Structures are given as C-alpha cells and as structure tokens.
Homo-oligomer: A and B are copies of this chain.
Amino acid sequence: MSTGAPGSFADPRTHAGAGGDAGAGAVAGHWIDAVYRVRAAAAGIGARAQAIALEQSIEAPLAAVRDERVLREVVAQVGDIAPAGARDFDVTIRIAVETTGFEAGQLLNMLFGNTSLHDDVTLVDAVFPAEFAQGFGGPAFGIAGIRALTGAAGRPLTCSALKPQGLPSQELAKIARTFALAGIDVIKDDHGLADQAVAPFGQRVREVQRAVDEANRATGGHSVYAACLSGHYARMREQVAIAEDCGVRMFLVAPMIAGVAALAALAREANAPIIAHPALAGAARIAPPLLLGRLFRMFGADATIFPHAGGRFGYSGDVCNAIAAAAREPWHGLASTLPVPAGGMSVERVPEICAQFGADTMLLVGGSLLAARERLAERCRDFVTAVHGEAR
C-alpha cells in the first residue's frame, strides 16, 4: 500500500502521460482548463502539478481509485506546464465539468477550494466550454440593460456611493437626492451598508428610493438606486422583495461574502441588474481578471466594481484593462458586464479613466465627492459634466 509521499498526492509513476492523451474522457465540453501559477523548482514541478490535479478533483492518492471511469473521466489531468519567469510555472489542469455539478459554489470549490490553502499557488485563468458558461447564463441585463434603465446612451456612466455608514436613513436619502439632482446615473449603497440599527434595510431603501424618485421627477432624469444586499441567500431574497416594493431597480452584492451561489441564483431571479462588489476577494490568490471579470460575469453580475490603478489599492493598469476585457469581450454569447473602476477615484481623473476604458464603463467616485461637504452638489455636477463631456 502506498499513501503517497508526505506533503503531496503526487505519484507520477502511476499516472504518466495522462496529460498527453485524455483517452475516452476527451470529449468536447468535458473539461475546464484551469491555469495555476506555481512557485516550484523545475525538478519538482511535474509532481507538484499532478498533486494539484488530484487535490482539485478526487482529493485522494491515485492508488485509492479502483474505478476505471473515475480514472479516465473524473480525475483531473495535467496539461501544459510552461515556465513563467525565473521561479514560477504556469500549469494547466483539466478539470472535469461533471465534478462541478454545474453549480457556482462547487465550481469555485473545484477550481481553488483546497488549493487556496497552499501559498505557492495562484489561480490565474480558467477556460470553460461554451455550453458550460451558457448553462450559468451570465448577466441577465448586462451593459445594454443598465443603459436602458438609466437612459445613458453612448457615453460612460456615472456612479457614486451613499456613505458614511452610521448616518440615519434620512441623511443618506439627502445625499442620494443631491446625487440624483446632479444627474449621477447610479447611486449605490456603500458596501458597508447592511442592515444596521441606525439605518435598517427596509427603512433605508424606502427613504433613499423616494428621494431619488423625487429628484428624477424634478429633473426629468433617470438616476437609479442600487441597494446593497447582505446576509444569507434567503435573507437577500426578502430584501429584494422589500426593495422592489419600494421601486428599487438595481442591487449590489459582494459575491465572495454572500457566496457565489447566491449571486448566481439572484441573477436568475431578481428582475433588476446586479452590481458585484469585490469585498473579501483576496485578489492576491485568484487573478482579478478571472474572478472579478469572467467568473462574476458567468454567475450573472451585470456590473463589476474593481479597485482601479492609482487609487487606494495596488492593481496595475494592465490588470484593470484585463478585468474590463474579461467583463466586456464577446464570450460564449453571454451579455457583457459593465466594468466599474473605483477605489479612490476623483473628478480630476475622469478624462484619463474615460480614455482608458471608453464608453462602456461606469465611473464610480465616492468619498472624494463627499469630501466637498457643503459643496457636494457642485462637485457632483462637475463629475457628471466631466463624464458627459468626454463623450462629445
């Protein structure tokens, strides 16, 4: 009996050549190609790759598998192993789609569940069969749906956030009214607004939606309020029902806190676009373009917020471009997801951000508007004017 070497499932002797010839399991649409960047010495990368393949599929040594079908069609297979810089390798692991049960949480489990506990590995990419991605359905509204809802055509959209948390609902509603009067397209709850006592969810969404509605009537505009959902999925569904009764037509969800299964279900059920927030996304270990771009899109996010370069977070301009590309590029016929650069943006950066991302983008400027204090309305108008001006 072999229990495998300590620290590894790897036993390359018994699995040689599996990556090269997938045999009967290699039917179209059978595999997801996941790419991991692995820090390893050249001499050990083959065994490390095989260990990842086992960890992310059957979670057992090959010696424990007696079933021929499991060996052929269920055990993940090692594909390409390519050097990536001096100390890393990019390892492609072919994961059987059947192991995901076609469910969002289980897909994340199969892509990175146990391997997230290994600090020598980052999940950098995943290539899905078309019918697999289509099975999830992607954004129900997407960029076109958000444009239709806000009446914003042919230009970048504008967005700001209701904060700070701790204010009572009426005070948040006043800020929302100022945003809406200035013509900001999407007014979202700060992702820290949950169901706190000082501004309970039901009271807050009623007050804020009313303020936005009144401002829209005054201006003839179409500002949309996006309410932040929190708690488990059943609680979120209750919140959706409460909010929709108040006329709310857009929602904010943090999928890595809520669980991606909740995002996937809400995207199919809520009759409103959903903005994904990156909280707890721990981007150092799953590549942001994959997680915030492609995966959140596949699970149904209509817009995806990401920390843009030059703000409070360390993402590079290239990473941000890659997130936007993953969100928007044609992909298996799914609707596009609206990229939302954020995280310390300012009105002064509007021309540069618009130049980088083009029209199919929503600019989110939050705290720096509120820092204008009594000149908030003026600063909001500057923001809107700057973005609209870029489209001319």
Q: Which residues of the other chain, B, contact A50 by a CB distance below 8 angstroms?
A: none
B-chain residues with CB within 8 Å of residue A103 when the two chains form the complex: 194-195, 230-231
- B59 x A196 contact (CB < 8 A): no
> Given A60-B164, A73-B166, A367-B61, are A7 and B196 neighbors across the interface (CB < 8 Å)?
no
Report the stretch among A16-24, A320-328, A371-379 that lies at the interface: A371-379
Out of B65, B196, B232, which one reaches A233, CB within 8 Å? B232
Q: Please state if B69 and A166 are interface contacts (CB–CB under 8 Å).
A: yes
B residues in contact with A194, CB < 8 Å: 100-101, 103, 105-106, 109
User: Contact: B165 with A74, CB < 8 Å?
Assistant: yes
* Contact (Cβ within 8 A) B313 A165: no
- Asked whether A230 and B105 contact (CB < 8 A) given A7-B311, A55-B312, A64-B163, the answer is yes
Residue A89, interface by CB 8 Å: no
Q: Is B312's CB under 8 angstroms from A61's CB?
A: no
Interface centre among A1, A60, A70, A370 (most CB of B within 10 A): A60
8 Å CB interface, A80-139 against B: 96, 98-101, 103, 105-106, 108-110, 112-114, 116-120
Task: Determine if A3 and B285 form an interchain contact, defined as CB atoms under 8 angstroms apart.
Answer: no
CA distance in complex: A367, B366 (Å): 51
A358 at the A/B interface (Cβ < 8 Å)? Answer: no
**A residues 60-77 with Cβ under 8 Å of B?**
60-61, 63-67, 69-70, 73-75
Q: How close is A62's CB to chain B, nearest CB, in angstroms?
A: 9
Distance, CA A258 to CA B58, complexed state (A): 20
Residue numbers in B under 8 Å from A340 (CB-CB): none
Of the listed stretches A140-148, A209-217, A241-249, A273-281, name the one at the interface; the rest are far from the partner chain: A273-281
Chain B residues with CB under 8 Å of A27's CB are none
CB distance from A217 to the nearest CB of B (A): 27
Q: SS class of chain A's interface: helix, strand, loop or mixed?
A: loop
Total identical chains: 2
A262 at the A/B interface (Cβ < 8 Å)? yes
Minimal beta-carbon separation of A384 from chain B (angstroms): 17
A279 neighbours in B (Cβ, 8 Å): 109, 113-114, 116
Chain A positions 1-49 with a Cβ under 8 Å from a chain B Cβ: 1-4, 6-9
**A368 and B61: CB pair below 8 A?**
yes
A261 touches B280 (CB 8 A): no
- Smallest CB separation, A282 vs chain B (Å): 4
CA distance A4 to B194 in the complex (A): 26
Known: A110-B192, A284-B284. 4 other contacts (CB 8 A): A59-B191, A63-B371, A66-B373, A99-B166
**26 A-B contact pairs sorted by A residue (CB < 8 Å):** A4-B344, A4-B367, A6-B311, A7-B312, A9-B312, A51-B312, A59-B190, A59-B367, A60-B190, A64-B164, A75-B164, A99-B165, A99-B196, A100-B194, A109-B280, A113-B191, A113-B192, A113-B254, A117-B278, A120-B314, A232-B259, A232-B262, A234-B265, A258-B261, A259-B259, A285-B285
